[in-house]
Amino acid sequence: FDDLNEVGIGWKVASTLWSGDKSLGYLICDNLISGRAQKPYERELISLLGSTFGHLIERLEAEQALHETTLSLHEMVNAGNTGLWEWNLITNEVQYSAVWKRLIGYEEHEFEDKHENFLANVHPEDLPRLEEAITIAIAEKLKNTAVEFRLRHEDGTYRWIMAQGSVYTDDDGNPIRLL
């Protein structure tokens, strides 16, 4: 039966696609072609599929929203001509954005993402002050700290840089990243 109208011999099961306590739709399965009796596990299986599909839909929607937010953030950063960097204090890996590299005259592939590479391009007179500022920021877990120094441009000249950063910690309060 479908809405009290006989449509064939067999069975039909509907399961709600749940996302938390929100219904996203329904999963409907039937066996009207072969007309065999429903097996005991089939109703539970359809219910599990409905729940699984609901979670998958929720995840896809969340991934889409994250993707759109990331694109928007990327566009804002590019519009502001702001160079971004991230330093993983655990692995010592660093990433410099394409804008950051472009501000000192490099194409993205021309400046290797290594902290040592960055330090090698800091003006020798500014290096001790910069290293001290970094050490203090990490030790005190500072947010929104700033330091000015000269950094060698690709053309060999030095340019004044205003670097701003924030230290991020793990759940135990240990510094893990500097952005």
Token pair recorded at residue 41: 């596990």
Single-letter code of the amino acid located at 151:
L
3-class SS letters over 11-32: CEEEEEEEECCEEEEEEEEECC
Considering the chain, what percentage of its residues have pLDDT values greater than 70?
96
pLDDT given for residue 7 in this prediction: 66
CB of 155 within 8 A of CB of 66? no
CA distance 77 to 99: 9
CB of 94 within 8 A of CB of 113? yes
Global confidence as pTM: 0.63
38-49 mean pLDDT:
84
pLDDT at 103 exceeding the cut of 80:
yes
CB of 123 within 8 A of CB of 147? no
pLDDT at 27 exceeding the cut of 90:
no
Phi then psi for residue 149, to 5 deg, are: -160, 170
CA distance 107 to 102: 6
CA distance 3 to 7: 10
Single-letter code of the amino acid located at 83:
G
Considering the chain, what percentage of its residues have pLDDT values greater than 90?
59
Question: End-to-end alpha-carbon separation of the chain, Å?
Answer: 62
